[in-house]
Amino acid sequence: MDWAVFLVDFLIHFGLLLVVALGMNWVWGWAGLPFLGSSVPVLVGGFTVSAITSRLVYFLASATGAGLLPWSGEGWMYNSEFNAGLAEQWLGGRPLLSVALILLSLVLSFFLGGAAGWLVARPGLGRGPVYVGIASYALSNLAALLGREVTWFMGGTYGIFTPSLVAFTGGAAAHVLLGLVLLVSALVLLLFRWVKASPFGRRVAAVRDNPTAASSLGLSVVAVRGWAVFLGAGAIGVAGCLFTLHRYYAFQADYGVVFWTMWPLLMVLVGGFTSDAGLVLGVLLVHGLRYLLILNRLVVGENLFFPLAYLESLELGALMIVFLLAFPRGLGSMWARLKGETGLRRRTPDNE
């Protein structure tokens, strides 16, 4: 095994899952809405790269006589590998265009992912948090159906190859993408910290704590909740875009509910809803345990009486139950309590 490649892949997925966990933490922890449709904006972020950015690249490359095979109709699926490789070579000598396409993909995935998240949560926004969870989880299956049946998005059950937008970096493409993912995750972390301290963040918290009182003061509960979901889902959509840029391939099954909703939810539960540092630690811990299982799957599989594919789901369920029972407030709350007990709190005039 090439450990350098493994480490880069581990850190890229850590950054992607951190972005998703930050979006979920905002919607769940700050807005108080149990949004279970995280896979939808991730899928829409993938649609952005496969259906919009790739077509734009093919259009520009065809206009300059790049020699692409037909990329409409059935050719969209069957010729995608050849066209993606040729378009990648064409982009290799155009770094400014590649950077512009990356930025365009990120911006579009934020707005389209936010709109998709709002759409699946909309039926429950005016009825209460429980209905948001029910609606978002149920409608996420409809989005998955669109990914499977509508070939225009990402090739249906065939999937499609997408041109690499970092081909201009040559052999450093993986490291450049890693830097981009970590940069985006840091910016998303700073964004939510800023939003929580803003007037909008205080309105979201007011609606969360007492919707009736907030409504009596003139706040539209549905509108505030809707914008909160839009913001969190938009950040999650950016993760879907980066994931597709990393894979160079888009296939609906890679954007499933288990990986993009349940695992990030476990990471948020482990880290806690109250601490950004705890959230980062929760993502790192759970992601590390999952990769540890993947590395040792052959050894572990020899001692199992059931298919190895079930083991990851069992790990997910077991960790969720353990942390809900033993550490219901997560590692962030434990760390904050430990600092208080050991006198590590910041000194202020009130506690001197």
**pLDDT for residue 48:** 94
pLDDT at residue 300 is higher than 80: no
Question: Of the segments 108-112, 216-220, 270-274, 346-350, which one has the largest average pLDDT value?
Answer: 108-112
Average per-residue pLDDT for the chain: 88
Residue ranges making up the domain that contains 193: 3-255
Domain boundary among 255, 271, 302: 255
Instruction: Write down the H helix ranges in the chain.
Output: 3-24, 39-47, 54-63, 75-78, 80-92, 95-125, 129-149, 151-154, 173-196, 199-209, 211-216, 221-247, 257, 263-271, 276-295, 297-301, 309-326, 330-341
pTM of the predicted model as reported, rounded to 2 decimal places: 0.90
pLDDT at residue 344 is higher than 50: no
Same domain, 36 and 129: yes
Number of domains in the chain: 2
**Within a domain: residue 150?**
yes
Q: Burial code of 295-325, b = ≥16 C-beta within 10 A, e = fewer?
A: eeeeeeeeeeeeeeeebbeebbeebbeebee
Same domain, 168 and 303: no
Domain boundary among 221, 240, 255: 255
CA 208 to chain centre: 23
pLDDT at residue 346 is higher than 50: no
**pLDDT for residue 75:** 87
pLDDT at residue 215 is higher than 60: yes
The tokens for 222 are 């549905």
Same domain, 112 and 242: yes
Same domain, 235 and 319: no
**Within a domain: residue 72?**
yes
Same domain, 183 and 323: no
**Within a domain: residue 349?**
no
Same domain, 249 and 159: yes
Same domain, 150 and 240: yes
pLDDT at residue 92 is higher than 50: yes
**pLDDT for residue 348:** 44
Same domain, 284 and 194: no
Q: Cα–Cα distance between 147 and 166 in angstroms, integer? A: 25
pLDDT at residue 351 is higher than 70: no
Domain boundary among 235, 255, 275: 255
**pLDDT for residue 340:** 63
**Within a domain: residue 351?**
no
Q: Cα–Cα distance between 70 and 26 in angstroms, integer? A: 43
pLDDT at residue 302 is higher than 80: no
**Within a domain: residue 107?**
yes
Share of the chain above pLDDT 90, in %: 55
Higher per-residue confidence, 276 vs 196? 196
User: Amino acid letter at 125?
Assistant: L
**pLDDT for residue 350:** 44
pLDDT at residue 345 is higher than 60: no
Same domain, 262 and 302: yes
**Which whole number is the average pLDDT over 174-189?**
95
Same domain, 79 and 49: yes
**Within a domain: residue 325?**
yes
Same domain, 191 and 320: no
Q: What is the CA radius of gyration of the chain?
A: 22
Same domain, 122 and 137: yes
**Within a domain: residue 352?**
no
